[in-house]
Amino acid sequence: MVIEKGRVFKDLLALKRWLQAFAVIRKRPYKVLHSYAEHRYTVVCDKESCPWTVCARKQKLRLKHRQLTSTLIAKRLLGILQLEPNMKVRTIIRTVEELYGGYVISSNKAWRAKQRAWKMIYGDWEAGYEQLLVLFNAIKAVNPGMHYEYIPKPNEWKDGRQIFFRTFWCFPQCVEAFRHCRPIFSIDGTFLIGKYRGTLLIAISYDANNNLVPLAFALVERENNDNWGWFLRLVRLHVVGPGREVGIISDRHQGILNAVREQIEGYAPLHHRWCTRHLAENLLRKDGVKDNFELFQDAARQLEDRAHDAGGWRYEFQCSNMAKSFNKLLLGIHAMLVNAIIQFTFYKPVAWFNDRHAYALKLQSVGEKWPPKPKEHLEKAKERTGTHEVTCFDLATGTYQVEHRDGTTSDGEVRDSRMHVYHFLCSHLVATARHRNFDIESMIPHEFSVDTLVHIWSPCFVPFWDSREWPPYDGPKWRPETHTFHLPFREMIVTLEDCQKMLGLTIRGDAVTGPCSVLISWPQQQFAHCPKDANEQTVGNYCRAWILHLFACILFPDATGDTTSWMLEWAYRDYTNELDTLTVSSVSWESYVGEGALPFPLSSMCGSDEGLYRMRCPLILFLCRRVPPA
């Protein structure tokens, strides 16, 4: 046992036991000099002449390291964040703790490390917009058939670069997959929360096993009539194709409703159906009566086509959960750079196509005809037939009566309501087919089969090359449209362009920005002591410096004690101007004994210039013009 500096003990009791054992082994008795459980514990040798002393202090265990910077963490996690860019901050904290022997970093440092890693992988925010066309060109070079459109703002330039407006892209593998899917897709928009904001529009569908099939994407400034119309038009032209009728499920955004009504020559119309979840939210928000919500749910679940003539275009989907589910995958992505978002929309389908194609081939190899979801529906329908009794009325026309053993019957004939609404079998049809010894599975649409599932996920993506091998691009340069800028002291305010729109003023030249304060250390050093032989002008300069010191350091000091606000500079100038105009006859020096001794109330004098010091806030000066009082 050795006493050494830096030894750590769990608590005071562990320290006492260790010192007792040490004293017994080394034959060194001691006595306690200080014993404060929350501060320190000191022992000295029991011999007065011996200088032997042991002192222990209670300290917080700081699992931090000065060299464990966000840059070091970013370089260490570069490969991990490239594969999983939406890694959460708390996951980064745990990963760093495991990699570096228990050091715990703050959430702020983990977030900064994530941002630095993104910059190392994808570049900065402005460069991300410049890389969009180059990235699209690189993907299309090895995946022919990919379609993308990149639209700048017309006649808007900044620093020799056009302003980005919107872009659309879809992959040929997804277009080919949709040809084997049910003719239904959902659209929705998700907000981007990065530096330049925006909205990501998504079109997505389902496969035979109700797995997501991404179809097309678009980056726009916001959801409006123009952007939704442009997006849906491109989806119909490049994803749906001519002649195919499809249904679309979305919320009641007016831009979507207007876009659905658009007629394109040679293309079938879209059959729009509202998302019942959005309708329920609107009902509850506007009506405010919770009892009506259950009635609405019952109405939304009606399967009879006579109850709600939907035309069968929902295919069992009542909500836009397809797009909402994909939006959840973007929770950690919608704060990233735009080129990173596009790469995510490329690599995520790559993983899905590989995994689900292997799964579909596995089902096909074991002789399965239907994927798990359709098979589950079929088994439930067959199970319900045990409670049905079938009576044939007309074999030639196929008219049957199906009676339930609980006493209820169908109304005279077998109606294929589930077949019409869900495009799948109902228990009445299964019971009737069994009565006729007919193979009911032959009536199941081919979109639900395992063979179709194989066709959906069979297209293969080709990886695009490293950025050093991308095809050369000599097209125009782009930049995002920004509505904010950062001041030198990390303040943020609206731009000059925003003020132009709000006030209707014309802009001439650039805005002048800078610090809101000025250093006063130099006047303090230069005007500390006034010379005895100073003339009147020199004395006036020293007086002005003293008044500035009075404002900045005594009346309105800040945390530094070495700066003064520019607004105080204005007040100082007004104050000195008033002093310059004073004469001996305009000043009366009298002792103050209360307002009663004065010929005028003191409050009117004290409040005469309160407007000079009323407001203290950062200021950007676009144009200032002093208007003399009338």
How far apart, in whole angstroms, are the C-alpha atoms of residue 478 and residue 131?
Answer: 9
Q: Where is average pLDDT lowest: 6-20, 217-231, 266-280, 374-388?
A: 266-280
Q: Parallel, antiparallel, or unpaired: how do β-strands 478-479 and 399-404 relate?
A: unpaired
Confidence category of residue 627, pLDDT binned at 50, 70, 90:
very low
Count of CB atoms within 10 A of residue 299's CB?
Answer: 11
What is the C-alpha separation between 17 and 22, in angstroms, rounded?
9
Q: Quote the pLDDT of residue 613.
A: 37
Model pTM above 0.85: no
Is it the case that residue 612 has pLDDT exceeding 50?
no
Are the C-beta atoms of residues 443 and 461 closer than 8 Å to each other?
no
From 623, 617, 626, select the one nearest 516 (Cα to Cα).
Answer: 617
What's the mean per-residue pLDDT of the chain? Answer: 74
Query: Between 42 and 296, whose confidence is greater?
Result: 42
- At 348, the amino acid letter reads K
How far the first Cα of the chain sits from its last, in Å, is 90
DSSP state of 409: B
pLDDT at 622: 39
Cβ-count burial 8-29 (b if 16+ within 10 Å, e if not): eeeebeebbeebeeebeeeebe
The C-alpha atoms of residue 134 and residue 559 are separated, in whole angstroms, by 49
Within 10 angstroms of residue 498's Cβ, the number of other Cβ atoms is 12
pLDDT in tens, 349-372: 999 999 999 999 999 999 888 888
Could you tell me if 429 and 441 are in contact, meaning their C-beta atoms sit under 8 angstroms apart?
no
How far lies 404's CA from each of 139, 414, 525, in Å?
58, 13, 102
Torsion sign over Cα 288, 294, 295, 299 = positive
Which structure tokens are listed for 503? 């006030």
| Maximum mean pLDDT: which of 66-70, 397-401, 430-434, 487-491 | 66-70
51 Cβ contact partners less than 8 Å away, ≥ 6 residues apart: 45
Asked whether residue 620 carries a pLDDT value surpassing 50, the answer given is no
Q: How far is the C-alpha of 216 from the C-alpha of 235, rounded, in Å?
A: 7
Q: Which residues of 139-167 are buried (b: 16+ CB within 10 A; e: fewer)?
A: bbeebeebbbebebeeeeeeeebbbbbbb
| pLDDT one-digit tens code per residue, 38-76 | 888 999 998 888 888 999 988 776 667 788 889 999 998
**In this predicted model, which residue has the larger pLDDT, 183 or 565?**
183
Structure confidence by residue, pLDDT tens digits, 425-466: 677 777 777 767 777 777 777 888 889 999 999 999 998 877
As a three-state string, the secondary structure of 180-238 is CCCCEEEEEEEECCCCCCCEEEEEEEECCCCCEEEEEEEEECCCCHHHHHHHHHHHHHH
Calculate the dihedral angle through the C-alpha atoms of 591, 592, 594, 600, rounding to the nearest 10 degrees.
90
For 462-520, the DSSP string reads -PPPPGGGSPP--S--EE---SEEE-TTS-EEE-HHHHHHHHT----SPPP---SEEE-
